[in-house]
Amino acid sequence: MEENDPSSVNHCKNDDPNSFSEPNSPTLETVSGFSTCSSPVPPEPFEPLFSVKFSGTVEKDGDIVKYTIKSIKKNDDVSFVVQRQYEDFEWLEHCLLTSNPLPGLIIPPLPPKPAITSEMAEAKSKRQLGSDTKTLIGDQFNKDCLQLEQYLRLLLCHCLFGRDEVLEKFLTEKEPPPRAKVKRGIFSRISESLEGRKSSHRDCEEFFQKERDWISKYSVQIKETNEAFCSVVYSQQRLCNVLGHLATALTLAQCSNENIAKLGNKLCSLFSEALEDARHGLQVLSYNDENTLGAYVDLYTRYIESEKEMLLQRTCLLVEYENANKALDKAKPQKKAAAEEAKFAAEKAFEDCSDVARQEIKKFHRQRVKMFQESLEKFAEAQLRNARDVTAMLAKSLTKIKQFEINL
């Protein structure tokens, strides 16, 4: 077999000089799944074997929160109802990763652990409402359910994880999986630190190099977008608190029983009702923002990190392949066979990872754009609906105030 240095070989060479607009900028070909690079025949679209839905029933006992999951197996229309804790999802993720150690996969990200303890709730309240707040944000079980439900759907839509027996048992067996705490050891962190140094290594394939250049910029941008969007939502929540306090203060500001004072009290009550309507409308707006466009930005802030990890893993295999080529060139005659075997193994691992990664990236971007469109539509529809509702409520309050008669 001819010995080539992979650093000098373009595995997906493109002879058309006009197929990319700029050397280092992503295009439709590089980020939306229509690469001109050679790749295996795209697999048939995978249909999820189950449909899942979290019910509104959430049981909380101290620091233990149980979510009720309803699932239907599509082939035979059999339904299942199970209860799971967040730790069960952590164990599911661990089992799926250990049973499918295939390089090149983009792993759907598990949502962060919900704030279930009083300490976590206090820290969350201060972060969202301000450090001097005395108000505690209540349990947000609906948001937690939506995030975990989305996580399961992403797993079910994946052609590999969606077929895994571990996931099927998770959805169908009444008894939860063993709740063993998953810990990351110091050696795995050291290994990741060492691998991180290879992230700047130049790729031998233009498709992957452009993807890496794109994601290094996009990951920063979407993280900043997520922080800015959260800042808007938190400002809405703080304003809701202020409007609530003001409405309460107006209701409690009772004066004497004189006629003029009574009229003032009634006007304050009418104004308080208007403020409550405005507060309710802003509360609904904040909730909708957080669960439409905000949910998408939050998800893909974490999902992009999964793709970065996959690309780093592939880069590490590329470095190993290049090192194996160099070792083969320098190998002495008695060690030539072993070095050639190591080179073939490294080459196969790298090429297998590249084939899987190429398909994963294309699918990832199609899914990303589709979900972005859906979230924008829901966001805009919720904005319009809420604006109409708030306008109608404030118009009624305004009419009441205008019709209020002051008889002195």
Instruction: Note whether 143 and 276 are same-domain residues.
Output: no
Neighbours of 208 (CB within 10 A): 23
Give the residue-averaged pLDDT of 173-177: 86
Instruction: Note whether 234 and 380 are same-domain residues.
Output: yes
pLDDT for residue 4: 44
Instruction: Note whether 230 and 170 are same-domain residues.
Output: no
Does some domain include residue 193? no
200: amino acid identity, one letter: S
| DSSP three-state, residue 273 | helix
Lowest mean pLDDT among 74-78, 100-104, 198-202, 383-387: 198-202
221: its two tokens: 């941008």
Q: How deeply is 98 buried, as exposed, middle or buried, from its count of CB atoms within 10 A (0-12, 13-18, 19+)?
A: exposed
Instruction: Note whether 176 and 276 are same-domain residues.
Output: no
Instruction: Note whether 222 and 297 are same-domain residues.
Output: yes
pLDDT for residue 10: 41
The answer on pLDDT for 371 being more than 90 is yes
- CATH code assigned at 98: 3.30.1520.10
Lowest mean pLDDT among 177-181, 335-339, 343-347: 177-181
Work out whether the CA dihedral 91, 93, 96, 100 comes out positive or negative.
negative
Instruction: Note whether 209 and 179 are same-domain residues.
Output: no
Q: C-alpha distances in angstroms, 253 versus 269, 350, 397?
A: 9, 73, 19
pLDDT for residue 267: 86
Contact 321, 347 (CB under 8 A): yes
Lowest mean pLDDT among 96-105, 194-203, 248-257, 397-406: 194-203
Total residues belonging to the chain? 408
218: its two tokens: 């996009």
242: amino acid identity, one letter: V
Q: How confident is the model at residue 139 (pLDDT cuts 50, 70, 90)?
A: low
Instruction: Note whether 306 and 257 are same-domain residues.
Output: yes
Mean pLDDT of the chain: 82
Taking the C-alpha atoms of residue 143 and residue 217, their distance in angstroms, rounded to an integer, is 29
pLDDT for residue 198: 64
Does some domain include residue 10? no
Backbone angles phi and psi of 257, in degrees to 5? -90, 10
pLDDT tens, 202-229?
888 999 999 999 999 999 999 999 999 9
Q: How confident is the model at residue 74 (pLDDT cuts 50, 70, 90)?
A: confident
pLDDT for residue 261: 75
pLDDT for residue 135: 66
Instruction: Note whether 217 and 348 are same-domain residues.
Output: yes
- CATH code assigned at 232: 1.20.1270.60
Domains in the chain, number: 2
Domain holding 73, by residue range, is 45-183
Instruction: Note whether 77 and 148 are same-domain residues.
Output: yes
239: its two tokens: 């304003």
